[in-house]
Amino acid sequence: MLLAELANSLVDAQNATRREDYRCPACHEPVRLHRGAQVIPYFAHLPQSPCTIQGEGETTEHLTGKRQLATFFAAWGTTELEHVLPTVQQRADVWVARTPQPVAVEFQCSPLALGRVSERTAGYHQLSCYPFWLLGHRYRRQRLNWALIERFMGWLPRWELCLLFWDVEHRQLQLTHHLYQDVAGHYGGQVTRVTNLAALMAGPARVDPYPQLSLVRVRYHWAQELARATPQLRPIQEFLYLRGHHLLGFPAAFAATDCTPPVLGQGILLWRILFGTALFALKGPLTPARLRPIAQNCLDLVGGHVQTVRVSFPHLLARLQTQFVTELVQRGYLDVVPGGWRIRRQPRWRSEQL
């Protein structure tokens, strides 16, 4: 930590001299000043300290970043390093006294379990402050992945679904924004760097269109995965096989080309193939109440979610279902009847493998 208590006031490690009576501002246990030629000065608890609101292990990146972020956010209000919040047992790396809503900045450089991200986010919400999670270098160099999205994806006006990274070396905020997933489940987003809050508020100078994925490429990719017996596709292929179908022969009527929010696991196309297969195997009238649990079951099979720690998509599944059923009606596979739909004709599966 950068601050310690001394005689009821706070001392910044960069101005501190060696002495024995520094204490942690949160738990008031003794802390020791660390300084040397190679390290930025900081305070640390003694080993086996009982402190329950310790921050993450201090690295140069984390110590430097915290100070940079206090400066970066200063245009929004008075900033305070390592602000202790006793009611929720948390310590915000930087606290911004913004009106009407304060902002808690978390500069996360080390790995953090999903449960801890949820707890800390909930703690900030309890205090009605907005948590700004900024991720360090180890996260910035990762490829987009679900663990990252599930823990840290937020939503900001003009940037939409986004991840925020702080680049200590360049003193820049890097946004990976307009996050999406293509039909085959690959994550993507647009990267923009900003150097001040005005640029953050202004949003990106341009927004790239979401990419369109060729279905030929998707089939080719799946053929390779099936040949390699990739475990993720196994439950999907089993589901289809038991109903007399092969994944690569999916009907054109099930195809999708639009990107989705990045929460659908292996992607919307697999979800539509499973849901369409289950739907056309049903006998009797199709009602929304009958289709809903099937849609959910198929979402589970493709590893999809309707919620991350910070963003929920309560209507996403219903919207995907409505869109798909509407298309099937338009293409003459389903008829609208009172209270639901009726199968008019079965979609044709391709028999050849590729």
Per DSSP, the three-state class of 284 is coil
* Minimum separation from the CB atom of position 85 to Zn ion (A): 13
Q: Nearest Cα to 30, choosing from 39, 19, 16?
A: 19
Pairing of strands 187-194, 172-181: antiparallel
The string of DSSP letters for 140-207 reads: HTSPP-HHHHHHH-EEETTTEEEEEEEETTTTEEEEEEEEEE-TT--EEEEEEEESSHHHHHH--S--
Of 43 and 72, which has the nearer Cβ to Zn ion? 43
DSSP 45: E
Q: How far is the CB of 23 from Zn ion (least distance, A)?
A: 8
| Smallest separation, CB 1 to Zn ion (Å) | 8
100 preceded by cis ω (within 30°)?
A: yes
Minimum distance between the CB of residue 3 and Zn ion, rounded to whole angstroms? Answer: 11
Q: CA-CA distance, 132 to 96, in Å (whole number)? A: 10
The smaller minimum CB distance to Zn ion, of residues 57 and 231, is found at 57
Among 323, 222, 328, CA closest to 277: 328
What SS3 class is residue 336? Answer: strand
Residue numbers of the site for Zn ion (CB under 5 A)? 24, 26-27, 51
Cβ of residue 28: shortest distance to Zn ion, in angstroms? 7
Tell me the one-letter amino acid at 67: R
24/316 with CB nearer Zn ion: 24
Q: Please, which residue, 3 or 273, has the CB nearer to Zn ion?
A: 3
DSSP state of 307: B
Instruction: Classify burial at 346, counting beta carbons within 10 Å of its beta carbon; exposed 0-12, middle 13-18, buried 19 or more.
Output: exposed
State in angstroms the smallest separation of the CB of 15 from Zn ion. Answer: 20
d(CA 129, CA 124): 5
What's the closest the beta carbon of residue 44 comes to Zn ion, in angstroms? 10
Tokens 């196309």 locate to 269
Nearer to Zn ion, 26 or 302 (CB): 26
Closest CB 45 distance from Zn ion, rounded Å? 6
CB-wise, 22 or 275, nearer to Zn ion? 22
Least distance in angstroms from the C-beta of 55 to Zn ion: 9
CB closer to Zn ion out of 46 and 252: 46
Which of residues 51 and 329 has its CB atom nearest to Zn ion in the complex?
51
Which lies closer to Zn ion via its Cβ, residue 24 or residue 270? Answer: 24
SS (H, E, C) 64-131: HHHHHHHHHHHHHCCEEEEEEEHHHCEEEEEEECCCCCCEEEEEECCCCCHHHHHHHHHHHHHCCCEE
